[in-house]
Amino acid sequence: LIAILIQSGNAAAAEGRLSTAAASYRELVGLRPGDADLRNNFGIVLSRSGDLAAAAAQFEAALNANPSHQTARRNLEAVREKLAKH
């Protein structure tokens, strides 16, 4: 199930179907809440869809799960900069 949801979420994101991708990742993080990579990917989808606050929360969750996740750290910084401009 996890692999199918990852594949579905990634394919939907690549095709620009962000709400479908978000739904897949929402289910994934529910199944594996401590997976920093899934949280980071979910944050990317949320950021692309314009939900910057929710994206920041996912990047923070990724860093809580894995404090050395540099991609999540960079993504969080980028989202915080965008939020500061709004």
Please name the residue ranges forming H helices in 1-86: 2-14, 18-31, 36-48, 52-65, 70-85
Q: What percent of the chain has pLDDT over 90?
A: 98
- How much is the pLDDT for 86? 78
Among the listed residues 35, 25, 27, the one whose alpha carbon sits nearest the alpha carbon of residue 66: 35
Q: What percent of the chain has pLDDT over 70?
A: 100
Please report how the helices 18-31 and 2-14 are oriented relative to each other, as an axis angle in degrees rounded to 10.
160
